[in-house]
Amino acid sequence: MTEKTVVKQLYRLNVEPRVIDQLSKIAARTGEPKTRIATRLFTEAVMSHKPASPKARERR
């Protein structure tokens, strides 16, 4: 199988109104849809997350 498979999972998140306001401002300025901006930001945040080291988890 040489084709690239893309899987998209949609999440329903509770988002603060001020976050929606910021997304709306960015969308109006860039012309990019709010959902695309939110998806990109969420993906970047999840992919850049670094789990705590085992020693840091033990200190809790």
Going from N- to C-terminal start, the domains of the chain cover 15-41
The per-residue pLDDT of the chain, averaged, comes to 84
Output the pLDDT for position 56.
67
Output the pLDDT for position 32.
96
Percentage with pLDDT > 90 across the chain: 43
What pTM was estimated for this model as a whole?
0.64
Taking the C-alpha atoms of residue 41 and residue 47, their distance in angstroms, rounded to an integer, is 10
CA angle in degrees (0–180, nearest 5) for 35-3-47: 40
Output the pLDDT for position 50.
87
Measured torsion, CA atoms of residues 8, 38, 16, 12, in degrees rounded to the nearest 10: -10
Output the pLDDT for position 4.
77
